[in-house]
Amino acid sequence: MADYEQLRQLVIEGDGDGTIRVTKQLVDGGAGAREILDGGLLPAMDIVGQRMRSGEAFIPEVLLSARTMQGALDLLKPLLAEGDTGNTGTAVIGTVEGDLHDIGKNLVAMMLEGAGFKVVNLGTSVTVAQFVAAVKQHKPQILGMSALLTTTVGRMPELIAALKAAGLRDSVKVMVGGAPVTQAYSDEIGADGYGANAAMAVDHAKALIA
């Protein structure tokens, strides 16, 4: 019988096949995608982060856990994207330049899709110029930036300044998130919305375009 403790352990160990198997068993047993995320996958990545900080886990192990987590997210994607299929609006999202962390950003993207947004996911290490070009091309209602490093979070105000310089700032609502980002930082840099997690990000995005 699959359980969340087992799932957390498999993600921490970076066991991709085991994680997929247990995730499938939980889905077949009637668990919802949010439940699987909150009960197993997200707490597992928190533990991986603590181990990285304390020197117990190194980059190769962290990368294995991250790949494992992404595999489970891919499996859950149809469930996360279920629901409102209407066209709520367009969201362009990416991880800022110099930053390769994409699990949280991809989760936000999947859940925005689930809320009916058309999502243009620009990937990782997206430059300010690439974000600005994407705003010109896709004319989104929401522009989302993710940053996980204290050394890359400063790209966020740079992009806001670049949008102003290009005369685009009033055309789009800017949302920010990621581990070092707080509501206070979001306010300080003049972003329109912040999400501490993916569910809050989606709620804010919907409220911003209501």
Q: Which stretch binds ligand B1M (CB under 6 A): 5-13, 27-35, 43-51, 159-167?
A: 43-51
Measured from the CB atom, the residue of 30 and 53 that comes closer to ligand B1M is 53
Least distance to ligand B1M, CB of residue 1, Å: 26
CA distances 53 to 22, 44, 47, 139, 182, Å, are: 28, 14, 10, 40, 20
Q: Which stretch binds ligand B1M (CB under 6 A): 16-24, 62-70, 77-85, 113-121?
A: 62-70
Least distance to ligand B1M, CB of residue 125, Å: 7
Please count the residues of this chain forming the interface with ligand B1M, following the rule CB under 6 A: 37
Question: How far is Cα 180 from Cα 177, in angstroms, rounded to an integer?
Answer: 8
8 Å CB contact between 70 and 120: no
- Binds ligand B1M (CB under 6 A): choice among 105, 115, 163, 186: 105
Does 174 bind ligand B1M (CB under 6 A)? Our answer is no
8 Å CB contact between 131 and 94: yes
Write out the binding residues for ligand B1M, residues 134-153 only, by CB under 6 A. Answer: 144-146, 148-150
8 Å CB contact between 121 and 84: no
Question: How far is Cα 100 from Cα 208, in angstroms, rounded to an integer?
Answer: 27
Does 97 bind ligand B1M (CB under 6 A)? Our answer is no
SS3 30: coil
| Amino acid of residue 108 | V
Question: How far is Cα 142 from Cα 159, in angstroms, rounded to an integer?
Answer: 14
Least distance to ligand B1M, CB of residue 138, Å: 15
Judged by the rule CB under 6 A, the positions of this chain that interact with ligand B1M are 42, 45-46, 48-49, 52-53, 59, 62-63, 66, 93, 98-105, 107-108, 144-146, 148-150, 175-179, 195, 197-198, 201
